[in-house]
Structure 1
Amino acid sequence: MTTAPPDIVPAAQARRLLRLCAGLATAACTLLAACTTSGACESPYVRSPQFKGCGFQNPPNPDALPSAGSWKIWSRFLFETKTDTVPTDPIPVQALDTAELQALDPQTNHLIRLGHSSHLLKLQGKFWLIDPVFSERASPFQWLGPRRFHKPPLTLEQLPPIDGLILSHDHYDHLDTATIEYLAQRVQRYFVPLGVKARLLELGVPADRVTELDWWQNAQYDGVQLTATPAQHFSGRTLNDRDRTLWASWVIQSGGQRIFYSGDSGYFGGFRDIGERFGGFDLAMMENGAYDAYWPSVHMTPEQSVQAFEDLRGKVLYSVHNSTFDLAFHTWHDPLDRIADLSAGRKIELATPEIGEVLTIGQPRTNQRWWAGLK
């Protein structure tokens, strides 16, 4: 995009225009199904059932509603005023340290919420990460873009040795450049959907540490079995690489327990298929945030997240993809309010842990609406 020279556009206005354009590009590539793909159609993934034409595609879903046009979406981000999308009160964070993590029972499975969809897991004594984002902003630019509501409960330097790392897709709020660059040689094994390996190699990850999986393919590492499962979403990190990489949900099996992680997804029949194949889950980490009527099929409303959880035959509904970044137009607490009310009405065991809180799968806990009363 070109801008008018300084003698035509005042400097302050020009800077504002550049900020707006960059912000729109970030939002479009990170959240919206509005970018178009271009360039050559050659790909090493043409044999994948998910790869058609020039990129990966979602499974057929006649009930999927279309997103609004790109200009309509961009104009909304440019002109609409947001209300209560960012908290003014501090988000509660339970600080962690390495000694506390090492002391967690190595015979069980633990989850620690780092923020948004980022999690640290201790699976039978081994540490794993899911979609880790430690940067200040979920953006290609650290001077612009959605900024964290809170600090992570521990720093990258405080992380214990990491056995495995799972990525759901390549959007900036899930695949963070600075985080992966730091962890590149510190993680023993990476598990990613098709095409994401190239992203990691660019960030310094050794090729022999990365395992790419298509939907329904599985791998085993250090006692943990992983299966990449379908999701209804999209991918891309620039305006011209739309859907060049695959997106996925994940099934994690450890110590006789099954964990589901939805990644980012709209509601679709695949949740029922996954539940039937695996016979239900001890805990399901369900996307619950960044939804909007302008992009109804790539993120779930709380009502859809609950329905997907029931399709999966889950025992504990664990809400993710909220409380850290301003990525849509709903209030920051709307996902939590709605899913808590829905779960109470359906007698679903809900987990909305504080940032940094340790949840041990299979052990009783009392869930708290920690956000209640915060502005």
Structure 2
Amino acid sequence: MTPFPTPGISWSDHSGSPQFRAGRFRNAREQQPVARTESGLKLGWDFLFNKPATTTPDGPLPLHRLTRAELDATPAPSLYRLGHSSVLIRLRSGWWLTDPVFSLRASPVQFAGPKRFHPVPITAAELPPLAGIVLSHDHYDHLDKATITELAPKTGVFLTPLGVGDRLIDWGVPRAQVRQLDWWEEAEVDGVRLIATPAQHFSGRTLSDSNRTLWASWVIDEGDLRLFFSGDTGYHDGFAEIGRRLGPFDLTMMETGAYSDNWPFVHMHPRETVQAHLDLGGRWLLPIHNGTFDLAMHPWDDPFEQVLAYAAPHDIEVTTPVFGDRLDLTAPHPGERWWRTVGTSTAETAGDRR
């Protein structure tokens, strides 16, 4: 985390949350492994100076550039993956967007930090009015101040975990547009039921504000269509509880990327992504949190190959649309294995890394 000073945010009182203890939010399972200092230093050194060339693509990624006219003609329900964890969803109530990051870099500054592999398929200015934006937590690859402030005038409501909404209000988003939820709390917006559900992660944007805000996954329920958005999370037994209480799901949008043996508590390996999808009672699986930013040491296309390999024995339907391609949520399709067209693919060696 880059050590930038924390602005003087006026934090709401979230002390009544079961997740808030001793001034910080906590996971349901607190046995988070603590890496030894020398291991952490080595990891940081390797990340800065010993990254394999395979963590970034060696050619341009295929992309479908969207237009406002195309979106205006899009029937509901439809979905467009815009990049990383940014997913644009057309429901009967209008357009919804998850974790929008449209800036060049996932970073507090735009001269350094993880840089996009591809442009956003459509600019924030070209987007139609949004019924709402759903945010999972406050890390820079999920919460981008420039994008939020540009989209705020055309967004009906921001649904956030506790504390994340305080950041938005500090940035100038009107308080009336922000709804902050704890785990298992819900809101109804224009006939869409949105439930904040547990995740296993952490939060913070500086060295001094760790876990001052909550993290969450989300259920988006329109009655005859039920979606799950994982945000960032390690594998945890809460997936099964979410499945029992709120599943099954027509489609799960599941974190599949930026994993490592060094941080299993906060990010899932693809085999865990598949297990979580099964726990949730998901039908189609859309792997997200991949293909846009260089955030780990694994090959950039490894998440796609790995999740397909682990899903196959369970006959799980996996969809991998090109960024900007439409997915019809009434009849999803497998999409394309588009990453195999970008330079040297890891498809032939994926099995060796399981």
Q: TM over 0.5, yes or no?
A: yes
User: Quick one: which amino acid aligns to residue 294 of structure 1?
Assistant: N
User: Quick one: which amino acid aligns to residue 13 of structure 2?
Assistant: P
Cα offset, 1:67, TM superposition = 4.4
Counterpart position of 2:274 = 306
Counterpart position of 1:53 = 22
Q: Which moved more, 1:78-87 or 1:169-178?
A: 78-87
User: Quick one: which amino acid aligns to residue 341 of structure 1?
Assistant: A
Contact kept? 2:186, 2:194, Cα under 8 Å: yes
> How many residues are aligned here?
337
User: Quick one: which amino acid aligns to residue 335 of structure 1?
Assistant: P
Identity across the alignment (%): 50
Contact kept? 2:201, 2:233, Cα under 8 Å: yes
Quickly say closer, same or farther: Cα 1:46–1:345, change in 2 above 3 A: same
What does 1:215-226 align with in structure 2 at a 5 Å threshold? Answer: 215-226=183-194
What does 1:275-294 align with in structure 2 at a 5 Å threshold? Answer: 275-294=243-262
Cα offset, 1:125, TM superposition = 5.0
CA distance in 2, matches of 1:156, 1:223: 25
User: Quick one: which amino acid aligns to residue 14 of structure 2?
Assistant: Y
User: Quick one: which amino acid aligns to residue 59 of structure 1?
Assistant: A
CA distance in 2, matches of 1:213, 1:43: 12
Cα offset, 1:303, TM superposition = 0.5
Cα offset, 1:373, TM superposition = 3.6
Gaps of 5+ in 2: 344-354
Q: Secondary structure at the match of 1:282?
A: strand
What does 1:81-96 align with in structure 2 at a 5 Å threshold? Answer: 81-96=51-66
Quickly say closer, same or farther: Cα 1:255–1:104, change in 2 above 3 A: farther
Q: Secondary structure at the match of 1:365?
A: coil
User: Quick one: which amino acid aligns to residue 162 of structure 2?
Assistant: L
- Which of 1 and 2 has greater Rg? 1
What does 1:1-375 align with in structure 2 at a 5 Å threshold? Answer: 25-26=1-2, 44-60=13-29, 65-67=33-35, 69=37, 70-105=40-75, 108-375=76-343
CA distance in 1, matches of 2:228, 2:149: 27
CA distance in 1, matches of 2:58, 2:172: 37
CA distance in 2, matches of 1:302, 1:223: 33
CA distance in 2, matches of 1:366, 1:201: 39
CA distance in 2, matches of 1:233, 1:68: 19
Q: Secondary structure at the match of 2:339?
A: coil
User: Quick one: which amino acid aligns to residue 52 of structure 2?
Assistant: K
Cα offset, 1:344, TM superposition = 2.3
Contact kept? 1:66, 1:297, Cα under 8 Å: no
Q: Secondary structure at the match of 2:226?
A: strand
CA distance in 1, matches of 2:333, 2:200: 32
Cα offset, 1:184, TM superposition = 2.1
Q: Secondary structure at the match of 2:303?
A: helix
Contact kept? 1:68, 1:294, Cα under 8 Å: no
Cα offset, 1:307, TM superposition = 0.5
Quickly say closer, same or farther: Cα 1:66–1:304, change in 2 above 3 A: farther
Cα offset, 1:83, TM superposition = 2.7
Contact kept? 1:117, 1:320, Cα under 8 Å: yes
CA distance in 1, matches of 2:78, 2:43: 39
CA distance in 2, matches of 1:241, 1:146: 21
Q: Summarize deviations over 1:307-358 as a string: whole Å, max 9, x none.
A: 1000101000110000000001000000011111222232110011110011
CA distance in 2, matches of 1:54, 1:128: 32
- RMSD of aligned residue pairs (Cα, Å): 1.9
Q: Summarize deviations over 1:69-102 as a string: whole Å, max 9, x none.
A: 4434323323423231110111111111111111
User: Quick one: which amino acid aligns to residue 169 of structure 2?
Assistant: L
Contact kept? 2:93, 2:191, Cα under 8 Å: no
Contact kept? 2:321, 2:335, Cα under 8 Å: yes
Quickly say closer, same or farther: Cα 1:360–1:86, change in 2 above 3 A: same
Quickly say closer, same or farther: Cα 1:282–1:206, change in 2 above 3 A: same
CA distance in 2, matches of 1:68, 1:276: 37
Cα offset, 1:368, TM superposition = 1.9
Cα offset, 1:200, TM superposition = 0.4
Q: Secondary structure at the match of 1:87?
A: coil
CA distance in 1, matches of 2:312, 2:201: 28
With normalisation by structure 2, the TM-score equals 0.91
CA distance in 2, matches of 1:103, 1:183: 21
CA distance in 2, matches of 1:364, 1:259: 13
Cα offset, 1:292, TM superposition = 0.8
User: Quick one: which amino acid aligns to residue 166 of structure 2?
Assistant: A
Cα offset, 1:363, TM superposition = 0.7
With normalisation by structure 1, the TM-score equals 0.86
